[in-house]
Amino acid sequence: MNTITINVPDDHLLKLQQKATRLGISVEELVLMSVEELLNQPETSFSEAMEYVLNKNAELYKRLA
């Protein structure tokens, strides 16, 4: 595993610490969970492309069903 160091404004760090305390986890765990959630989200462009294709071909799909 690698380590990343970032600069965080004091007010953001305070909010992170408070949220981590409420959740009963460390700030590092909270940040890692947030990064993992971000990485697991589907790409917006893919979702938009999929919706476009489905809408564009909706009539064709109905006829083929």
What is the tens place of the pLDDT at every residue in 14-45?
999 999 999 999 999 999 999 998 888 777 78
Residue 39 lies in a domain: yes
Long-range contact pairs involving 21-29 (C-beta distance under 8 Å, separation at least 24): none
Q: Which domain holds residue 22?
A: 10-64
Residue 1 lies in a domain: no
- Spatial separation of the C-alpha atoms in residues 1 and 3, rounded to whole Å: 7
Give pTM, 2 decimals.
0.62
How many domains would you assign to the chain? Answer: 1
Residue 31 lies in a domain: yes
Residue 44 lies in a domain: yes
pLDDT at position 33 is 93
Residue 38 lies in a domain: yes
Q: Token pair of 13, please?
A: 């760090």
Residue 4 lies in a domain: no
Share of the chain above pLDDT 90, in %: 49
Residue 5 lies in a domain: no
Residue 36 lies in a domain: yes
Q: What is the mean pLDDT of residues 41-63?
A: 80
